[in-house]
Structure 1
Amino acid sequence: MAWVQIRFAVNSEYVEDISDLLVEVGSQSVTFTANDKDEAIFELFPGDIKYWQTSTVVGLFDAATEMQHIVDILKDQDMFQGQFNCKIEQVEDKDWEREWMENFHPIQFGERLWVCPSWLPIPDPEACNVVLDPGLAFGTGTHATTALCMLWLEQMDLTGKTVLDFGCGSGILAIAALKLGAKRAIGIDIDPKAITASQENAERNNVADKIEWYLPEDAPVFETDVILANILAGPLKELKEVICGYGHTGTELALSGILAEQGDDVLNAYKDLANMNPATQQDEWVRLDGAIK
């Protein structure tokens, strides 16, 4: 089954209320962890339930869930006082934060592109190798949505082109584009942890001098020759003008993070902005690609 998760911060006094609300609106599980700036609580007496001053909440949902509806419900809660910030992301096929080093092996995409974990030997030193350690960021190549984008990139001639990775996660797509011959790459993500992971992976792959990473509010005005957006169907539709605004007539476009049953809706959303090809499917997910009008 395909999953997405929503992640946001909440004050400790509201954790039980928010847990009940998330379950009520369809969350399959709710977990709480320490916010980055808070210290963990170690000494608990029997029967005590204590939380950090600010907790990071993660709610897990079926990927077909209309997540904008969930966001709207959360925004309306008095506890957030109109200041609700969250990140919605796909969930890897396995929890690589726990199983990463035991289970991840080099993966080949097409004839010339490999993704290799940083702690294992590279199978083909002559290939285009992306050496990866995603940390806490999404994107290892194991998920169908990322794999669909990697296969699309591998088939392209990127020589001399500028590539945008919108929702860059671990930076895997931007780095792969550079390895495949792109001149310059730009990554944008709303999560500072993704920016950190992407920069570390760029340095690991010796391409940091050809790539720039931005939070959306810090991104400059620019145009690119190739755009990849591996996020989710809802944000793809909502941000279509923003995404296509980074291109020009003829810019090649690939959209991923879309369940098969959502493909037609996303195609319809982009039909006035781009000439789109039929969907390419892997497992429950599809990639839509084409060129901006």
Structure 2
Amino acid sequence: MDFVEVRVVAPRELADILVAELAEVGYNTFEDNDEGFCAYIDEDQFAADAVAEIMSRYEGLGEVGYEHRVITRQNWNAEWEKNFEPLVIADKVSVRAPFHAARPDLEYEIVIMPRMSFGTGHHDTTALMITNQLDIDHQNKRVLDMGCGTGILAIMAVHLGASYVLAVDVEPWTAENAADNAQENNVQDKVEARLGDISALEGEEPFDIILANINRNVLLEDMAAYGQYLKPNSPILFSGFYEEDLPLIREAAEQHGLRYESHRVQNHWVSAICRK
């Protein structure tokens, strides 16, 4: 399967809104750049009219332009190698590709080869989730990483002491990528990558921690299941939505026994912590 890259030129404040809009219609990988961002989707799911309709809503709010091209799957790693820069999160966590130099001066290191999976730490939601993870006791915990992408949050959970992480994603290449990245970080014995949606949890015992960095609509749709699969007095970390959506997420969480505790904001994106 090949992919379509939509390259968007837009001011930062508008680019964040457009990312959220494109995520709603199926784009699941985003890459920031100096001019705006790139969004990626399976070629068979690409609809030029849908992109044009989204862009038309924001005419007059700033200089916006876009173009698209097809990227063959075998060229995906080359695209990331050209653009993936090493990253430091919260002055403690190094996120890098295998071809970057190590950072032994930092407390934690995560090595990621993203392929076509979302989650390199460069997007605000991933960085926010990792920052919130640093405040959560993972020692000997059983963790669920729902919508795992590259597996970056699952790997972070093991670095923080988790004994087992179930990493779930709906895309086959993403589940494969999460498994590969777990092996790259020598945590393959504690991370299980599983293909599926929330129904893939059937028969599972409740978890000590849930990590759910997806998008607003999926979070709302699956909120009842999150309440079901989380142990009492245990935390769930949400992200993938904007600050203005926090009241909606909070209301839905509290309807299913998940009490709001705190949240962080970065460039209008949010990561919230709730507890059952």
**TM-score band, normalised by the shorter chain?**
0.7 to 0.9
Aligned CA distance change for structure 1 residues 100 and 9 (closer, same or farther; 3 Å): closer
**Residue 243 in 1 paired to residue 226 in 2?**
yes
Larger Rg belongs to: 1
Q: Secondary structure at the match of 1:26?
A: helix
**Residue 181 in 1 paired to residue 165 in 2?**
no
Aligned CA distance change for structure 1 residues 239 and 218 (closer, same or farther; 3 Å): closer
- Contact 2:208–2:231 at 8 Å: present in 1 too? yes
Gaps of 5+ in 1: 37-95
Question: Which letter maps to 1:26?
Answer: I
Match of 2:54 in 1: 26
Match of 1:287 in 2: 271
**Residue 144 in 1 paired to residue 127 in 2?**
no
Question: Which letter maps to 1:281?
Answer: V
Aligned CA distance change for structure 1 residues 102 and 25 (closer, same or farther; 3 Å): closer
The CA distance in 1 between the partners of 2:81 and 2:113, in whole Å, is 9
Q: Secondary structure at the match of 1:223?
A: coil
**Residue 221 in 1 paired to residue 204 in 2?**
yes
Question: Which letter maps to 1:231?
Answer: I
Give the CA RMSD over aligned residues: 2.8
Match of 1:205 in 2: 185
Q: Secondary structure at the match of 1:239?
A: helix
**Residue 268 in 1 paired to residue 251 in 2?**
yes
- Contact 1:137–1:194 at 8 Å: present in 2 too? yes
Deviates more, 1:234-243 or 1:134-143: 234-243
The CA distance in 2 between the partners of 1:240 and 1:8, in whole Å, is 27
- Compute the TM-score of the two structures, normalised by the length of structure 1: 0.69
What is the percentage of aligned positions where both structures have the same residue?
Answer: 28
Aligned CA distance change for structure 1 residues 34 and 144 (closer, same or farther; 3 Å): closer
Equivalenced residues, count: 228
Q: 1:170 aligns with which of 136, 150, 157?
A: 150
Superposition map of 1:249-264 within 5 A: 249-264=232-247
Question: Which letter maps to 1:139?
Answer: G
Detail structure 1 runs of 4+ shifted over 6 Å in the superposition: none
The CA distance in 2 between the partners of 1:105 and 1:194, in whole Å, is 20
Deviation at 1:157, TM superposition (A): 2.3
Question: Which letter maps to 2:260?
Answer: M
Gaps of 5+ in 2: 1-14, 27-40, 57-65
